[in-house]
Amino acid sequence: MSARVAFVIVSHSASLAAGVAELAAQMAPDVHFEAAGGTEDGRIGTSYDRVEAALEAALEAATGEGGGVIVLTDLGSATMTVESVIDMSDDAERIRFVDTALVEGAVASAVRAQLGDDLDQVAAVAASLAPRMEDIDAPGAPEAAGAPRAGEETPSASASSELRARGEAVVADPVGLHARPAAAFVRLAASFDADITVNGADGGSVLELMALGVTQGQRVLIEATGADATRAVAALTDMLERTDNHTCELKETT
């Protein structure tokens, strides 16, 4: 069953466009991808006709209410080509061009498309990966995932009375918690009514999970809050360990 949001990856390089589409497709097997890279004669550059053909094919694949196409690009002239094609499209309202980090934006938003998010929701995820000017102007240690920015309030720990669960799992996959295993974790986590973290990282973010650098045999802490917290931790532990040996010790509080 195909997802209702499809993607067009536009690059000056045919190999780069195809590679990004291939990588993202590994994380989101039910999502349709079109790669539009290089010129018709194989040179580095962009082609209006290639982008237009890719966009039309993606629009045909994007069906259902809230469906449409996300377009991602690498450099400035590719963006101008995309904007020209969208301006001439009869289905412009079903297209979202997102100016964001190409690889990270494609991977993170493709996983959300795989989970069934609509066009605007998927576009918002892609846009959240765009570099912030304060990061560019003042390089340094990156802001911790989930950390509040200046002026933001931190939620009180006592404000929630939801069910909580936690447990440990030893990662069995030979590649650790990377790429496809991370995407599989996110897809399973999304099936539960719970907020989930792994070693403090957002269990709903492929990029945050991959950034942990978890390798085979490493022990991780899974924590969940919400109505399905207990079931979520148990199921995710099973998935990571892939054995009948459960090291997860659930602790519930209300």
Catalytic residues: 12
How many CA atoms lie within 13 Å of 28's alpha carbon, on the beta-carbon side?
26
Q: Which SS3 state, helix, strand or coil, does residue 222 take? A: strand
From residue 111, give the alpha-carbon distance in Å to each of 77, 84, 143, 149, 246: 27, 28, 23, 26, 27
Roughly how many angstroms between the first and final C-alpha of the chain, as a whole number?
38
Structure-block tokens of residue 210: 């991959």
Concatenating the DSSP letter of every residue in 140-169 gives: SSPPPTTPPPTTPPPPPGGG----EEEEEE
Q: What is the Cα–Cα distance from 234 to 165, expressed in whole angstroms?
A: 9
Q: Smallest Cα–Cα separation from 9: which of 26, 24, 29?
A: 24
